[in-house]
Amino acid sequence: MKNKATTSTKPQLSTAIGTRPARKLKNELQSVLSSESDDQNTSNELSSNLTNRAYATVRSLILQRQLTGGEVLVEGRLVERLQMSRTPLREALLRLEGEGLLVRANARSYSVRRITAALYFQCLQVRERLESQAISLAMGRIPADEIRALRTNILALDSSQQGSSHWQADDEIHGLFARASGNEMLADTIAHLRVLCRLFEVVDPFNRIEDDRKEHLAILDAYIAGDEKRADEAVLDHLRNLARYTLLRLSNGLVSDFG
C-alpha cells in the first residue's frame, strides 16, 4: 500500500509574501524603515528645538536679572512658564551648568551662579590681556562699513536708561573684535568671561551709558583709523574705568559682597 504524501503545514514562501516580486517587497520594506527613521528624526528635531528654546529663555532670564545670583530654580515653575515637559528643560539646565551660569543647589536642583566682586575683578584683569590681544589681531579684518554702522547704533542709544539695547551694543563691540581675531579659543574665552562679569554687574545695574558710549566710540574710532596702539589703549582704558567705577561703588556701599 502506497503511503500518502505528507502535507506540510508550513506556509510556502509564495504564500507568506504573496505573489509580489522580491524587488517590490524590498522597496516596500525600505519605505517602511525610511518612514520610521523620518519619524524618529522629526521627534529628535522637536526635542532639540525645545531644549534650545528652554536654554535661550532661561539664559536670558539670568542675564536680564529676572533670575538673580544664588536664586534656586524651581523646575515646576519653569515648566509652567515655558509650557514644555521636564526633559528638554533639564537638558537646557545641564547645558547652562556646563557654561557656568548655573551651579548645583542639591542633587535635584540648580541655582543661578553667584559672582563675587573679587571674582569679577579677576575676570576684568584677564579680559584686559585677552581683549587687547584680540583687537590687535583683528586690525584690518573688519569692513569699515560694519564699524561705522556699529558706531551709529551706539550714538543712538538712549542715555536715560540701561536696558537690553545697551547690553546688545556692548556685546556687539567686544564680540566683534574677539571673533575677528581669527582665534576661536580666544573668542570663546572672552565671551565666557564677559558672561561672568555680567552676572555680577546685574546685581546692581550700573548707569554708565554715557561713559560706555564715549569709551566704545574711542575704540571704534581708533580701529577705523588703523591705529593699533590707540585702539589697544582705548580697550584697556574702558575695562580699567569700569573696574574703578565698580570699586568706587563698593567703597560707598552701593554694591555689597566683596568676598
pLDDT in tens, 153-174: 998 887 665 566 777 888 999 9
| Cell 574702558 belongs to residue | 238
Residue 56: exposed, middle, or buried by beta-carbon count in 10 A (0-12, 13-18, 19+)?
A: exposed
pLDDT for position 177: 97
Q: What average pLDDT does this structure show over 57-75? A: 89
256 or 127: which leads in pLDDT: 127
Q: What is the DSSP string of 78-99?
A: HHHHHTS-HHHHHHHHHHHHHT
199 CB neighbour count, 10 Å cutoff: 23
31 or 242: which leads in pLDDT: 242
Tell me the one-letter amino acid at 166: H
Terminal-residue alpha carbon distance, the chain: 107
pLDDT for position 26: 65
Q: One fold for both 23-112 and 117-251? A: no
Tell me the one-letter amino acid at 186: L
- All structural domains of the chain with their residue ranges: 23-112, 117-251
* Phi, psi of 6, rounded to the nearest 5 degrees: -70, 125
Length of the chain: 259
**The C-alpha cell that represents 35 in the structure block:** 518612514
Q: Which of 34-43, 200-209, 241-250 has the highest mean pLDDT?
A: 241-250
| Cell 557656568 belongs to residue | 100
pLDDT band at 200 (very low <50, low <70, confident <90, very high): confident
Domain made up of 23-112: CATH architecture: Orthogonal Bundle (1.10)
86 or 47: which leads in pLDDT: 86
In the chain, DSSP finds a helix count (H) and a strand count (E) of 10, 2
* 21 contacts: CB under 8 Å, gap ≥ 6: none
Q: Which of 192, 252, 153 is nearest to 59 (CA)?
A: 192
How far from the centroid of its chain's Cα atoms is residue 3's Cα?
Answer: 82
Regarding the domain delimited by 117-251, which CATH topology (the fold level of the hierarchy) does it fall under?
Four Helix Bundle (Hemerythrin (Met), subunit A) (1.20.120)
pLDDT band at 234 (very low <50, low <70, confident <90, very high): very high
pLDDT band at 65 (very low <50, low <70, confident <90, very high): confident
d(CA 77, CA 195) in angstroms, rounded, equals 25
d(CA 259, CA 239) in angstroms, rounded, equals 21
d(CA 5, CA 245) in angstroms, rounded, equals 103
Instruction: Specify whether the backbone of 5 is left (phi greater than 0), alpha (psi in -120 to 50) or beta.
Output: beta
How far from the centroid of its chain's Cα atoms is residue 5's Cα?
Answer: 76
Write down the pTM of the prediction: 0.75
pLDDT by residue (tens digit) across 107-125? 788 999 999 999 999 999 9
Indicate if the pLDDT at residue 186 is higher than 60.
Answer: yes
- Are 105 and 111 contacting, i.e. CB atoms less than 8 angstroms apart? yes
pLDDT by residue (tens digit) across 206-233? 567 888 899 999 999 999 999 999 999 9
Chain mean pLDDT for the chain: 83
